[in-house]
Amino acid sequence: MIESGMPPSVESNLPPRKVRVDLGARSYDVLIGRELLSRLPEFVALHVIHGPYAVIYDVRVDGLAGKVEEALKNAFRSSVQAGEKSKSLEQAAFLLQQMAERRIPRSGTIVALGGGVIGDLAGFVAATYLRGVNFIQLPTTLLAMVDSSVGGKTGVNLPEGKNLVGAFHQPKLVVADLDALATLPAKEFAAGMAEVIKYGAIRDRALFERVARGVTPQDADLAEIVEKCVAIKARIVEGDEFETKGERALLNFGHTIGHAIEKATGYTRYLHGEAVALGMRAATWLSRREAGLSQEDARDLEVALLANQLPVVLDPAVDSQAILGALGNDKKVAADGGNRWVLLTQSGEAESGRTISPNLVAQAVEYLRVHPDDL
């Protein structure tokens, strides 16, 4: 903690890294760095985002919520239980009522402080309360920093399925303070790394080669790594803000089989990023067969997963048929009934739109039974 009167640390003098998401009237900045939450007053003033601020936060980041409330004048806070269960209509209704009770005006701002669950939930509240109020994302998980806080997709789950209710509602500002990651469980950090590896694999060979050596929350170049991921997502979102052109499809690399694994295991056995890690390994095998990916590049993806403590072998208790069955219901199934696969042509380059025979898909799932070192 820096006491007032003490000289600010070197970090706090540095301007944060900034990625502009260019969406015309809905453009915004993503700021990335360390010691940023205490500088929020500076950032909201610069971006002309007014209070009152309703800070919706995950109970697990209670300490940070205190800091944010202290930093922002005229802020209220509402805690939300940790976990996917909180991404519900009931929770959204409760929060909407709180906004009304506190008379948050149209000019006020909802602030999400937490991971993707809080971002999606608070974003949905911001999209619907008074037909839409200002929204700020303060992501506290690696996944939220590189993925869910950027792009404007907000929403909640229904008992029938995930993310079935929602709205596009872009934030006015995203502040990713890497210091928030200090308390994040290692497993959650690794799950976020799966998305980081994905960005490198589909778009940026240099990023891929860097992250293949393994990344920790303390790494000096973490801000640069997050910045690169956010920039890749920003460019893709800019080209397809409302997901109508299929340009966002590349972001689904590893997600077709990943989603099927999550579904087949009732969303309990693997974190999303862990399932995506397995899905990327399977998609890499398919890329070797169908998209000309070299053996060396395929091996590098496995190395990257291993270096970041991600799973590469499927739990033997998970049934292949259950995964293949779940694939049939994948929401990314193309109109012609085939899966639109995203495959790598080389490290840093991907293509989408492939249809793959069910037989080959089954072989890719079986490939996940064997550890790369035992092949």
Residue 174: which of 146, 215, 204 has the closest Cα? 146
Nearer to ligand NAD, 147 or 297 (CB): 147
Q: Which residues contact 102 (CB under 8 A, 6 or more apart)?
A: 52, 54, 76
Among residues 247, 239, 217, 231, which one has the least CA distance to residue 29? 231
Enter the tokens of residue 50.
Answer: 């007014």
Q: Which is nearer to ligand NAD, 122 or 286 (CB)?
A: 122
71 contacts: CB under 8 Å, gap ≥ 6: 37, 38, 39, 40, 41
Structure tokens at 255: 């997600």
348 binds ligand NAD (CB under 6 A): no
Q: How far is the CB of 154 from ligand NAD (least distance, A)?
A: 6
- Closest residue to ligand NAD: CB criterion: 116
Counting other chains too, the contacts that 207-213 makes at CB distance below 8 Å and 24 or more residues apart are 207/348, 208/300, 208/304, 208/347, 208/348, 209/300, 209/347, 211/304, 211/308, 212/300, 212/303, 212/304, 212/307, 213/307
- What's the CA gap between 365 and 286, in Å, rounded? 10
Structure tokens belonging to residue 27: 């453009």
Q: Is the N-terminal amide bond of 105 cis, ω within 30° of 0?
A: no
Which CB atom, from 147 or from 290, has the smaller least distance to ligand NAD?
A: 147
What are the phi and psi torsion angles at 164 (to 5°)? -85, -15
Q: Output the smallest distance, CB 151 to ligand NAD, in A.
A: 5
Nearest residue to 287 via CA among 191, 352, 207? 352
Residues 82-101 that bind ligand NAD (CB under 6 A): 82-84, 87
How near is the Cβ of 273 to ligand NAD at its closest, in Å? 7
Taking contact as CB under 6 A, which single stretch among the options 44-52, 79-87, 212-220, 364-372 is the one that binds ligand NAD? Answer: 79-87
Nearer to ligand NAD, 60 or 281 (CB): 60
Q: Across the strands, what pairs with 114? A: 139
Which positions from 107 through 146 interact with ligand NAD, judged by CB under 6 A?
114-118, 120, 140-141, 143-144
The nearer residue to ligand NAD, 163 or 309, going by C-beta atoms, is 163
x/- mask, ligand NAD, residues 37-66, rule CB under 6 A, reads ---------------------x-xx-----
Task: Please report how close the Cβ of residue 143 comes to ligand NAD at its closest, in angstroms.
Answer: 4
Instruction: Give SS3 for 30.
Output: strand
User: Please, which of residues 158-217 interact with ligand NAD by CB under 6 A?
Assistant: 163, 180, 183-184, 188
Of the pair 51, 115, the CB lying nearest ligand NAD is at: 115
Are 102 and 89 within 8 A, CB to CB? no
Q: Pick between residue 192 and residue 348 the one whose CB is nearest to ligand NAD.
A: 192
Residue 120 CB, nearest approach to ligand NAD (Å)? 5
CB of 180 to ligand NAD, least distance (A): 5
Distance CA 58, CA 79 (A): 6
Question: Min. distance of Cβ 233 from ligand NAD in angstroms?
Answer: 9
**Min CB(355)–ligand NAD separation in Å:** 25
Which residues here bind ligand NAD, judged by CB under 6 A? 58, 60-61, 82-84, 87, 114-118, 120, 140-141, 143-144, 147-148, 151, 153, 163, 180, 183-184, 188
